[in-house]
Every structure is written in structure tokens, then in C-alpha cells.
Structure 1
Amino acid sequence: MIQILEEPVGSTYKQLISLAFKICDEFILVKREQLELTEKTKILIEELKPYVNTVKKQEEWPGTRLLGHHADIYYFNCKPELEELLINKAKGLYRWRHPDLLEDLCFFKNKEVWLLTTAHEQLGFITTTDRVEISMIREIEGIMIQEIAVSYHEV
């Protein structure tokens, strides 16, 4: 697992999103039902509509669990048009949050979380053990990361 130590912004953000689109096949964005939408968010949802695979009402998604509330989770395939949209709509990874955008951009590779963000907490993690992917992440100019060894022990 790799922890992103500082928010990727500008060209670092663009490179990270482009890499995610090369590696992953799906991503999500979240709309919490208890939060009011701004005009900017409504426009974004309209722009995204043609690309939505499905919308699910869920109380949890990678990195977040709600208590007593649900959110609409929008699922998308990683398509070039959407890569450009994500790059142009936000200037940084943790900018994906209410009130101006949908929240918690997360990418999936083969149904497994690859990039997890909790934007309000300014946390981002990449889960990969693929040496080629790790090398490509390290090559992103300006990215500040820390590799975290994760092991599981039966108790």
C-alpha cells in the first residue's frame, strides 16, 4: 500500500489521474443525500450522466461508512472522455468534495480498490504490489508518497 502524503495538485494530479486511467477499469464518485447540491455540482452531474454505468444507494464505500445516512454512488468505466473531464474539473485530488464537486474519487482495478480517497480528511491510498505500477507512481513528478507494508496475521 502507498500513502499519498501531500495532495497531488496541478500537473502531479493530472499525471496521477492519467495513470489511474491506464491501470484501472472503473471509478466512482459520491453524492451524499443529506448535502444540498450547488449549481456547479448539478452541472457536473448532467455532464457525467451519459457515462454513468449505475448509481447505487449505499451507506459505505472505500474509506467511508455513514451512520444512518445513504449516498448515491456513481459508477463509471474508465474512458478517455472521462479522464479529460476529471482532469479539467478539479485542480487536485482532494478537491473532489462538497459543495462544488462530487466526493471521494476512487479507482478500481479488476473490482479491487486501486486508488482510495477520503477528500474531506485529505487522505489518499494506492493499493498495489505490482512493481511496474509502483515504479510508474514514483515517476510522477511532485508526488509525495510513503510505502506502507501491510501484513495480515490470523489471531
Structure 2
Amino acid sequence: MKKFIEEPKGTTYKELLNVAFSICDEFLLVKRDQHDLNENGEKFIEEIKPYVKEIKRQEEWPGTTLLGHYADVYYFNCHQELKEILTNKTERLYQWLTPELLEDICFLKNGEVWLATVAHEKIGVIMSKNQSELERVIGIEGITMS
């Protein structure tokens, strides 16, 4: 079931990350070839580098298909240390944009998309088939979904 999510901010966003990290086993972030990172973005990559599981050259990822361009898609396991890094770097879901950060955070559960974002278009979609997972998200104070 797909549910579009209005941008969660502050404690609502942090609680969404808590739920995502408790349900999902993997997440990804994207660095497009045609967008450069600034100094903060480069520092962020250095900070998360020890946690990178894999970097793949891709022309698509959940929510996005590039035409004639590629991106480095960074894959991570959902570790507590990474959740703390993410919550310290961002205050809202669609803040995942270059040049400050990597883009389009997406969470995966058993290889299937659970949360996909297209940050520059302010689009986020929860794609859970599990009603209790959806209820956990809906139960977060401040969450608005359609």
C-alpha cells in the first residue's frame, strides 16, 4: 500500500527515523554526478564512509530515473550509530539535498522499498504491505499521510 507523506519536521521527523530504523534493514543516499557537494557535503561523506556497505553506479533508484546521467548510490545497514548521525544532520525529511548532503534518503526492508523520497520535489511515499507498520507511522504525532 502506498501512502504519500507530508514533510515531517523536528520531533515528528526524528520519530519517523526511529520507526524506519526499527522496521528496515537498509537505507540509501544518492550523490548525482551533475551536482557537486560543498565543504559540508564532503565532510558528511567522510563521516559516514566507515558505514558504507556498498556504492553502486546507477541511473535510477526509488522515485527517480535519470536520462543520460548517473549517480553514486550509497547503501548502508540500519545501525544505531547511523541513525544518530542522520538525526544530528537533519531536522526534516526533505532536507536531504546537495550541496549540503547526499540526496533522496530511502529505506528498504528485505530488499523492498519501504520509504522513498524525492527531496527536491518534496515527495515521500511509505510503501508498506504491513498494516501494523502503517499504524506505527500513522501513530507518530504530527504525521500527515494521504
Common fold: TM-score over 0.5 = yes
CA displacement 1:90-139 (0-9 Å, x = unmatched)? 11000001111100000000000000000000000001121211111111
Q: Which residue in the other structure is 2:68 paired with?
A: 68
d(CA) in 1 for partners of 2:29, 2:111: 15
2:114 equivalent to 1:114: yes
Letter in 1 for 2:138: R
Tell me whether 1:10 sits opposite 2:10 in the alignment. Answer: yes
Q: Which residue of 1 aligns with 2:125?
A: 125
Does structure 1 residue 140 correspond to structure 2 residue 140? yes
RMSD: 0.6
Segments of 5+ residues of structure 2 without an aligned counterpart are none
Unaligned residue ranges in structure 1 (runs of 5+)? 147-155
Instruction: Give the TM-score normalised by structure 2.
Output: 0.98
SS, match of residue 145 in structure 1: coil
Q: Work out which of the two has the higher radius of gyration on C-alpha atoms and give 1 or 2.
A: 1
Equivalent position of 1:94 in the other structure: 94
Q: Distance in 2 between matches of 1:137 and 1:119?
A: 19
SS in structure 2 of the partner of residue 50 of structure 1 = helix
How many Å separate the matches in 2 of 1:130 and 1:112? 12
Equivalent position amino acid for 2:142 in 1: G
Aligned sequence identity (%): 57
Report the Cα distance in structure 2 between the residues aligned to 1:49 and 1:20, rounded to whole angstroms: 21
Q: Say which SS state the counterpart of residue 100 (structure 1) adopts.
A: coil
Kindly provide the CA deviation profile for residues 8-30 of structure 1, in whole angstroms up to 9, marking residues without a partner as x: 01001000011000000000000
Q: Any idea what SS the aligned residue of 1:34 has?
A: coil
- Write the distance in 2 (CA, Å) between the matches of 1:120 and 1:36: 15
How many residue pairs match? The answer is 145
The separation in 1 between residues aligned to 2:140 and 2:16, in whole angstroms, is 7
Distance 1:66 1:131 in 2: 32
* Amino acid corresponding to residue 124 of structure 2 in structure 1: G
Q: d(CA) in 1 for partners of 2:92 and 2:47?
A: 19
CA distance in 2 between counterparts of 1:80 and 1:7 reads 23
Secondary structure of residue in 1 paired with 2:21: helix
